[in-house]
Chains A and B, each alone.
Chain A
Amino acid sequence: MATVVTPSSAPSLAPAALRSRLAEFRAMGLVALQLAVLGLVIAGLRIESPAFQTRVVPLAFGGALVHHFLPARWRPWAFVALSLTGFMLVFGGVGTAWFVLLATVVLAWLHLPIPYWGRIAGWAVMAAGLGAARAGLFPVPWPGSIWPVFGSIFMLRMIVYLYDLRHQKGPTDWKMALSYFFMLPAVVFPFFPIVDYGMFKRTYYDRPALQIYQTGIHWMVRGLTHLVVYRLVYQFFTLAPSDVTSGAELVQFLLANFALYLRVSGQFHLIVGLLHLFGFRLPETHRFFFVASSFTDLWRRINIYWKDFMQKVFYMPVFYPLAKKRGEAVAIVVGSAVTIFATWFLHSYQWFWLLGRWLFTMTDVLFWVLLGVFLVMDSLRERKRGRARPGSPETKTLRYQVSIGLRAIGVFTIMCSLWGFWNAPTLAEGLNLFRVDSWDWRATGLLAAALLAVGFGAGLAERIRPPAHEDRVPPTMWKSLRTALPILAIWATSFAAVGERLPDEARGVLRELRVAELNARDAAQLQRGYYEELVGVNRFNGELWNVYVQRGSEWPNLQELGGLRQTGDLLRAELKPFLGLMFHGHPFRTNAHGMRDGAYDKEPAAGTHRVAVLGPSYVMGDGVPDGYTFEAQLETRLNRERPVVGPARWEFLNFGVSEYSPLSNLIILENGRVFGFRPSVVIMVSHPADMVTSDHVIEAVRKGYPLKYDFLQRIVDSVKATPDLTREELVKRLRPFDDEILTEVYKRMAELCRANGTRLVWALVPTPAQTTTAARQERVRQIAASVGLERIDLGDIYAGRDEKALIVADFDKHPNVEGHQLIADRLYTELLKRPHLLGARP
């Protein structure tokens, strides 16, 4: 381990030392300022998992500031303690205890005083046993959620550790070994760069501390930028393979597919940047990989840690002796073949530990074979002709930069095609991608623009190429602001406060900056590449994702998330437009009109049959992702199956909002919010809880809102319900009027719909596992019948079903995706029995 270089090792506080100490405090203050902004932006933009945003980032950033002021000898142990605290915060006591126990057994075995190969054999037996358990061949007592993180730590990093153990001189440095296995970010990033153990030890505080921290901050900002760009590519440019029919779509598909790799580089920059805060001055993980000018250049730039791992453990042990005995050309061919085989196998091995199944597809095999061939060809060419090194004068000439640009265009074109092919599930689908019906000027234009950008970027990158390890000088105020301000600006503009004056299109883009996931239905159609599967924990391990989301204890409502605008009147609240939230673990977007729905114009297109759906939180889709609400599913199915003749298209508009009562629905009918969209039918979704509409009135009385309707004012006046009364007293006085209030609300809704030429349908849709009584459900039915409303009754919808399987969670009884599917299917059937509600031609 290198000598620790830090101003804090000053032995006494003589005047010069005091000045130095003050300067150190000032510099750490600037580090703290930048970390605070980074933390704010990570939370604001919801970067990666909730566990990362709310637990690991505050722990790491706060911990790093304390860690710096500890005596140097304590720091590695403090890092281990902090990492274990991170495990505790994410996996809890039981999960962490299993980690520690498994780690203790594995590490104790590896350090037994027996021959090296004996330890390796024992380890192999242990790994095989654990692998069998990972594959589900026998049960294990630890929670399934820890497997991906365990696999990442002990099954891949262990290979490097075992290699170094063989050549280790001197006693084991336990504090560094434990730091290596329990690196804090690993707890939330199962897909982790293969950090080299030797490098990890060697670069520990080998530069002045503040310089290392500043480099780390710089890399985290870069990682954040990659993740934001990734998000925009993901939301706006990715296409499903099935959507690719024209040349322009093919170009878009291939470009976007390759660009999705930005998430890996973004995550790795965050991970390594965060480790810098604790003195681990690790090298870059990625470097201008989109503008690589040859395949060997790409191999050196993309996932550099993997390249180093392969080179150290597989390539050099084969290449070096062979080069001495049989010459460089033979060594290149054999060494590359071994390396590519190991890469292919270990990618599958990594897939197994993270996902629990092996990856074996023909497209995967072919991808690595082709890449191997290109790598060998490039290596042999470089051996013959040589290559310009960074910093050599040749690289500064325009001719060289132009040639680099042209070569980068070639490599980029081949890689985009290979990448698209690689990520196809089958060989046939991979080949089919390239069969397009048409090629027009748009395709040519898009392709030319992308390639020109790559070519220009490659030349420019060569011209401005910074040193490989960008040691940053200790922070100054100006540099701190320069780091903090751009990311703060991205974060700020993504919020309505700044973006309200922008056009709708721009607000739509800014909304997507805040949402990590695609509309889940769209996402399901997309092609999932190797890295896309591994970096998204929510996709590959629901159990681990639940741990990261920490359901139950972190379940803020929409109001707490800032999703509602208080109206200050009887309506109480409405959804804000252009929301982009993660709500109860799912993406939650609203359109320009504040509906949890897609984009709709106010005026329906000719031939469109429009239905407005009104109701409370489960109509809004609390607990399900965008696109999975029952009204959205109903709309999709109708337009897909077209079961009746008549309309060219059906549109179901979601007017559901959390805690809306029948009284809220009456208000939005009366104030024109619903009729402004000219629906042909209004479906008022009714719940047994409608029988306590008086609760809405009670809240209005307590807040002093004008009651707006004469019948409400009369009831309230008759019982002298005033704001100074307790809630219990108001309940006692107003509850007896529930029947009257609901009847009057239903009557007025029917009148309003009649006056606007719209059909009103009352649809009773109970929620699963509900606690409201059957008597309430029956009473609400009777009132709807007495008013003469057209009715759809789904009161028996859950008969014979396990209702607990249809709710979001034990502590949240909203219907889950399956519940919404059930409601959509049943409503579909009921609407078909009433074709006039679907606008069917007689």
Chain B
Amino acid sequence: MDPIEQTIKDFILESYLLGADPSQLTADTPLITGGILDSLATVQLSLFLEQHFHVEIAPHETATDYLDTIALIGQLVRSKLPS
């Protein structure tokens, strides 16, 4: 996991899976389709991404296509950061 993905993983573990085994949460663990992130958590995660990485997340980017795994979220954030 790169630093961006690690930051996202830490946020999810602290916010929604407190006390869970971190090794169980991998870059490919389904977050929305796996029931870890519901709509409210998805929005909270999006707001976290906006604040932490100073990027803007559009409403359509709150869908599973962009946020279902840590790998996908990392990809979304990286696509918005200045290269």
Contact = CB atoms under 8 A, between A and B. Distances in A.
A332 B40 contact: yes
Given A321-B59, A392-B18, A393-B19, A469 B42 contact: no
A196 B59 contact: no
Interface stretch (A85-93, A382-390, A606-614, A646-654): A382-390
A383 B40 contact: yes
B39 A317 contact: no
Contact of A300 (B18, B35, B43): B35
Given A391-B24, A393-B19, A393-B20, A316 B38 contact: no
A199 interface: yes
Contact of A323 (B19, B30, B38, B43): B43
Contacts of A234: none
A300 B30 CA distance: 14
A198 interface: yes
A308 B65 CA distance: 11
Contacts of A167: 60
A468 interface: yes
B63 A283 contact: no
Interface string A314-344: 0111011101100010011001000000000
Contacts of B19: 392-394
Q: Is the interface of A mostly helix, strand, loop or mixed?
A: helix
A90 B14 CA distance: 53
A328 B47 CA distance: 12
A315 B62 CA distance: 10
Contacts of A323: 43, 47
A308 B64 contact: yes
Given A320-B62, A467-B34, A468-B30, A391 B17 contact: yes
A199 B64 contact: yes
B36 A391 contact: yes
Contacts of A324: 47
A220 to B, nearest CB: 19
B65 A198 contact: yes
Contacts of B16: 389, 392
A312 B17 contact: no
A202 interface: yes
Interface in B5-58: 16-20, 24-25, 30, 32-36, 38-40, 42-43, 46-47, 57
A587 to B, nearest CB: 39
**Residue among B17, B32, B35, B62 facing the most chain A CB atoms (10 A cut-off):** B35
Interface in A152-202: 163-164, 166-167, 196, 198-199, 202
Contacts of A284: 33
Nearest to B40: A383
Contacts, number: 91
B39 A316 contact: yes
Contacts of B25: 391
Interface in A59-107: none
A332 B43 CA distance: 11
A468 B34 contact: yes
A296 interface: yes
Contacts of B38: 296, 300, 382, 387
A317 B60 contact: yes
Contact of B59 (A300, A304, A320, A390): A320
Contacts of B20: 389, 391-393
B40 to A, nearest CB: 6
Given A391-B36, A392-B20, A394-B19, A196 B64 contact: yes
Given A167-B60, A196-B64, A312-B64, A390 B43 contact: no
A311 interface: yes
A215 to B, nearest CB: 13
A390 B65 contact: no
A320 B43 contact: yes
B30 A392 contact: no
A590 interface: no
Contacts of A387: 38
A331 B17 CA distance: 24
Nearest to A169: B79
Contact of B36 (A319, A335, A379, A390): A390
A283 B33 contact: yes
Nearest to A379: B40
Interface string A275-319: 000000001100100000000100010001000100110011101
A331 B46 CA distance: 15
Given A320-B59, A392-B20, A393-B19, A199 B35 contact: no
A287 B33 CA distance: 11
Contacts of B40: 328, 332, 379, 382-383
B64 A316 contact: no
Contacts of A390: 34-36
B63 A315 contact: no
**Residue among B18, B19, B36, B40 facing the most chain A CB atoms (10 A cut-off):** B40
Contacts of B17: 389, 391-392
Given A296-B38, A383-B40, A468 B33 contact: yes
Contacts of A198: 63-65
Given A319-B39, A379-B40, A469 B33 contact: yes
B59 to A, nearest CB: 4
A202 B65 contact: yes
A467 B32 CA distance: 12
Interface string A460-479: 00000001110000000000
Interface string A549-591: 0000000000000000000000000000000000000000000
A461 B22 CA distance: 23
B8 to A, nearest CB: 15
B35 A311 contact: no
Contacts of B32: 308
B62 A316 contact: yes
Contacts of A317: 59-60
Given A321-B59, A391-B17, A199 B65 contact: yes
Nearest to B12: A389
Nearest to A312: B63
Contact of B63 (A300, A316, A321, A379): A316
Nearest to A336: B39
Nearest to B47: A324
A343 to B, nearest CB: 14
Contacts of A304: 33
B10 to A, nearest CB: 15
B32 to A, nearest CB: 8
A312 B64 CA distance: 8
Interface string A196-232: 1011001000000000000000000000000000000
Nearest to B50: A324
B20 to A, nearest CB: 5
A312 B20 CA distance: 28
Nearest to B72: A202
B41 to A, nearest CB: 8
A159 to B, nearest CB: 14
**Residue among B19, B39, B59 facing the most chain A CB atoms (10 A cut-off):** B39
A320 B50 CA distance: 12
A598 B22 CA distance: 62
A469 B64 contact: no
A760 to B, nearest CB: 70
Given A196-B63, A389-B20, A392-B17, 20 more contacts: A196-B64, A199-B65, A202-B65, A296-B38, A300-B38, A304-B33, A312-B63, A316-B63, A317-B59, A317-B60, A319-B39, A328-B43, A331-B43, A387-B38, A390-B34, A391-B20, A392-B16, A467-B34, A468-B35, A469-B33
22 contacts: A167-B60, A196-B64, A199-B33, A199-B64, A202-B65, A284-B33, A300-B35, A312-B64, A316-B60, A317-B59, A317-B60, A319-B43, A320-B57, A321-B59, A324-B47, A335-B39, A382-B40, A387-B38, A389-B36, A392-B20, A468-B33, A469-B34
Shortest 6 CB-CB contacts between residues of A and residues of B: A468-B34, A198-B65, A393-B19, A283-B33, A312-B63, A320-B59
Interface of B: 16-20, 24-25, 30, 32-36, 38-40, 42-43, 46-47, 57, 59-60, 62-65
